[in-house]
A and B are shown apart, each in its own frame.
Chain A
Amino acid sequence: QITLKESGPTLVKPTQTLTLTCTFSGFSLSTSGVGVGWIRQPPGKALEWLALIYWDDDKRYSPSLKSRLTITKDTSKNQVVLTMTNMDPVDTATYYCALTPTIFNWFDPWGQGTLVTVSS
């Protein structure tokens, strides 16, 4: 059974850096083709893709947020970490991580998501 779970702070202040961890089980991020992505969803709004990291350490970022995002993986710990700098109240959202089993393909399954609120 494949599971993913997001963890990190629920509240961050404006201008701070957000660090989120995705801990997964049931697959290996060293398997060819496999990737883990981050997607967020502001309250009542649409899904927005943020970043992807693949088994070979290839990294992809949303063009609109690229300057603020860093994605890394720790294969031995089965974790993927996303950092987002210079947080703003508009970044308030539920942040999800999800498995992509092959390149340029679907996200499934997803973690339960973690709500991050940006407020002073």
Chain B
Amino acid sequence: NFMLTQPHSVSESPGKTVTISCTGSSGSIASNYVQWYQQRPGSAPTTVIYEDNQRPSGVPDRFSGSIDSSSNSASLTISGLKTEDEADYYCQSYDSSNAVFGGGTQLTVL
């Protein structure tokens, strides 16, 4: 089964830039769109990136997404980190028309 692998946790200081990776286990991650969701404790996930690199309205341009076919991975980059960015982040894509979520990355801003 297709899997998306994320680092369990990352940490960075306010004002810095952090990148979270999401690696596909097989096939080409570029074959289907990748989305990124932010989840704060006790809340439902919200979208920060959809269709690989698109930001929903209201999401600051500090959030960006990209695809690297050579490493079969997607990345979420958050620049100018703020304490409010501290949350869990999940990547999501599809495999044979089935949705797949990554295992999530806990971002600590300290």
Contact = CB atoms under 8 A, between A and B. Distances in A.
A60 B96 CA distance: 10
| Chain A interface, DSSP helix/strand/loop, else mixed | loop
B98 A108 contact: no
Interface string B77-110: 0000000000000101010011111111000000
A46 B101 CA distance: 8
A34 to B, nearest CB: 15
A107 B35 contact: yes
Contacts of A87: none
B101 A47 contact: yes
Interface in A50-85: 52, 60-64
B15 interface: no
Given A105-B50, A108-B56, A52 B101 contact: no
Interface residues on A, range: 20 to 34
| Chain B interface, DSSP helix/strand/loop, else mixed | strand
Contacts of A37: 99
Given A105-B50, A105-B51, A46 B44 contact: no
A32 interface: no
A62 B98 CA distance: 7
B7 interface: no
A109 B39 CA distance: 13
A39 interface: yes
Contacts of A111: 44
9 contacts: A46-B102, A46-B103, A47-B92, A62-B98, A106-B33, A106-B51, A107-B37, A107-B99, A108-B50
Interface of A: 37, 39, 46-49, 52, 60-64, 96, 104-113
Closest 7 interchain pairs by CB?
A: A106-B50, A49-B99, A110-B44, A106-B35, A47-B101, A108-B47, A46-B104
